[in-house]
A and B are shown apart, each in its own frame.
Chain A
Amino acid sequence: MATKVPQTIRAALILARSPIVVPDLTKFESQYIKYKYELEKRLMWTFPAYYYFKKGTMSEYKFQIAQKKPISKQPGVWYPQGIPDIRHGRERSTKQEVIIPKDENPANDTSISRPVVKNSIITKADESNDTTSLERQLRKTLYLLVKIKPNDEWKFPSFEVNSDYALHEVAESGLRDIGGSKINTWTVSRKPVKVLKDKNDESLEFFIKSRILTGEFVPKMKDIEFKWLTRDEIKDFVKKDYYDNTEFLLDK
């Protein structure tokens, strides 16, 4: 049996910011979804407008005006596309397009049915490529990388375990020591997800996963640098060995 060497234990924190916007669809995914959507529309029942609009009201009139009328069946006429089969104002052999009548002045519209104004997915931080911002790359997961001293390497924040505290407690309190207490995180588990042996000082680094919910990382010391990076961006900042050993812990 080998003699036991007292090893220093370190607790590293993989702090993630979850994606704020859903991931982009691939070309195949969006094509398949469109195909299924069209198929579903073709097989959908006719919209019962008589249920939603009372007969003889202004809203019924506006709705009926906005609809595209199908070609009706006339005696003695030849229809190359097939004889029209209309029920409840819908051509049964095609999908039904229900058009919602729009107001003339959409800017003044304050009703609940006004069109939704969508916020841009590309933010100011994306345009200026501000890697210290949490509002970047909304579709992807961001991870916190720090550099404690100017000559250090970029790493996940890592802290030495001296006391009797558990690994996740050391990692979380260490994060607050370097990044201020105004940060709200949620530790995924007390169990370490990975152990890495440091080549220089033979210390063992145990990784703990955590997620930032609110607040921000504000470095307490002058020398500390930090970056919020996606998995693919981390590749360019850390050593290849370090990346290969931690890459499978990270999400897209």
Chain B
Amino acid sequence: MLPIQRSLYIRNRGSLNPFCLSSFLTLITRGKRTKANKNGSDISPQMQRVVTQLSVMSARKKQPKMLKLSNEDLIKHQTIETAWSIYQDKLNGQRTSKLKKQYFAIEEAMNKLRQINPKLFDKCNIDESGKIFPMELRIPTDYPPREIWHYNYTPKKE
């Protein structure tokens, strides 16, 4: 028996006052089983939800064991990483040399155009900063779309 109930029981035994009985009945509802205390925990379902959401973000109990590499494994890992960075350097070098070549080709073409036709040069040499990519330009994906190419295009009439 709960201590609060026992004390009420003792108090009620002393007198048979009906007012005391009614107060006893109202007090006994405090022991009712509700949704909050059904599972034995004292927090409300709303609070429980917050606790679950926080536990999703916390590292406690979810972190794996630390990765301990042997000397040999460590050397393997470092070799792989070095090979990758060398490969990336190679790609970057190729890209840079190609861009340089393209830049000098543009420079040569523009200089030539200035020599032979300054009027045409002025038309080409307009600053185009702020130019944006068109909406229709597709980004490459891992797999092709169902309709690979849109053929029916009709130009807008101006």
Contact = CB atoms under 8 A, between A and B. Distances in A.
Contacts, number: 158
A88 B61 CA distance: 7
A134 interface: yes
B9 interface: no
B53 A51 contact: yes
Contact of A193 (B102, B116, B151, B152): B102
Nearest to B106: A193
A18 B136 CA distance: 12
Interface size class of B (residues with CB under 8 A): 35 or more
B30 interface: no
A4 B98 CA distance: 33
A239 interface: no
B70 to A, nearest CB: 14
A164 B119 contact: yes
A192 B113 CA distance: 9
Question: Which of A35, A134, A192, A248 counts the most B-chain CB atoms under 10 A from its CB?
Answer: A192
A18 B110 contact: no
B137 A195 contact: no
B124 A191 contact: yes
Contacts of B123: 165-167, 190
Contacts of B125: 191
- Majority secondary structure of chain B interface residues (helix, strand, loop or mixed): loop
Given A138-B148, A190-B123, A195 B84 contact: no
A161 B146 CA distance: 41
Contacts of A20: 138, 140-141, 144-145, 148
Contacts of A164: 119
9 contacts: A28-B83, A46-B62, A46-B64, A167-B123, A184-B153, A186-B137, A191-B124, A213-B136, A215-B150
Interface of A: 4, 7, 9, 18-23, 28-29, 32, 35, 42-46, 48, 50-51, 85, 87-88, 90, 92-93, 95-96, 118-121, 123, 134-135, 138, 161, 164-168, 181-184, 186, 189-195, 204, 206-207, 211, 213-216, 248-249
Interface of B: 52-53, 55-56, 59, 61-65, 67, 80, 83-84, 87, 98, 101-102, 105-106, 108-110, 112-113, 116-117, 119-120, 123-126, 128, 133-134, 136-138, 140-146, 148-155
